[in-house]
Amino acid sequence: MAYEPWIDVDPAALRHNARTVASLAGGRPVLAVVKNDGYGLGAARVGPILDQAPEVAGFAVVRAWEALALREAGVRKPVLLMGLTDGEEAVELVLRGVRLAPFTDDAVATITAAARVLGDLVPVHLYIDTGMNRLGMPHHRALPWMEELNAAGVARVEGTFMTFTESDDFDDEQLSRFLDLTGRAREQGVELGRLHAASSNGLFFHPPAHMDMVRTGLVLYGAYPAGARELDRADLRVAFRLRARVVRVEQLRPGDSVNYGREYIAQRHTWVATIPMGHADGYPRGAANRARVLIGGRTYPVIGAVSASHVIVEIGDERTVQTGDVANLLGPDHDEVHPNTVAKKAGVSVYDILMHLRVA
């Protein structure tokens, strides 16, 4: 029996969520974001499942190794690298069918070199910065750059995209900048491909940004970007379970404490169980003394501190848990372990819950 924590992925839930996302987007195709190693679930694990979903048109990542991992896992649909690459790495990616996202002033040179090796046009999505000021060609000087790339005849533009700041009072301005730019580019005969901007947040809260395709990550895995605000609009299913087996069950005496800091001191004889999952694995520190864990159909409170590798839960007066029992720390089987619930109780974003998972 293994006692290392693990993640189970539910293929049926992933496919259900892909259908739900497409429906919310009015039937538009979905560019599935599997960055940060598939939101902590493993890009090579979720990629092949979503690859079979007809609603999914392709994938988006931010690291070159993630793009290659998808290909190694058998993903056949287009993969977009939303990060900077050049030189030999760009050539390798293009040869593996990965789409580049040019946004630098020297992008024409990089794409020309890749096209020469490929012997064909290089498929790309143009990355436009409309105010995020993180990545992308700034919108106010993008048109000449787009025209230069179009005139070079070395790229096949499959898409043009931007990223929202997800600030309610600025998103409309960002979208206006994007539509103004792409409108002027079309007038100049610049090829744009599919326009996309809406992330999971935009899917729910900014319908005008759905455009030709939505680019969602979090919602595909069954979590809601803002929580309760979306519950009446979509039935998402948590597509994974974060699990570990109990490694110790012991009875505390009055006055005994658990874990670092002695934040929990027993007031009476009570049973506790240790689970080998901690903040180094992505379980939030803030869950201590707030969140609960599901074991054998019942939930138990997390007590003391969440240490790097362990969580301790209070079982109570009777020993209802045994060493080797499976503990569910996150998943669909009880509202107390839903990612949004744990995130709220821990005082963190639900994005932090998934993005920080580090479980094999």
Catalytic site residue from 39, 260, 264, 351: 260
Find the catalytic residue in 35, 39, 127, 283.
35
260 among known catalytic residues: yes
Cβ burial of 14 (10 Å; 0-12, 13-18, 19+) is buried
| 39 annotated active-site | no
Distance CA 304, CA 306 (A): 7
Residues 6+ apart with CB under 8 A from 244: 3, 4, 5, 6, 275, 276, 277, 326, 327, 329
Task: Report whether 236 contacts 218 (CB < 8 A).
Answer: no
CB neighbour burial string for 140-155, b if at least 16 within 10 angstroms, e if fewer: eebbebbeebbeeebb
Q: How far is CA 292 from CA 89, 223, 312, 347, in A?
A: 45, 18, 10, 14
Cβ of 358: how many Cβ atoms within 10 Å? Answer: 12
Asked if residue 350 lies in contact with residue 218, where contact means CB atoms within 8 angstroms, the answer is yes
3 state DSSP class of 201:
helix
The SS3 assignment for 246 reads: coil
Q: What is the identity of the amino acid at 337? A: V
Gyration radius of the chain over CA positions: 23
Report the distance separating Cα 88 and Cα 80, nearest Å.
17
Query: Which amino acid belongs to residue 201?
Result: N
Please give the positions annotated as active site.
Answer: 35, 260
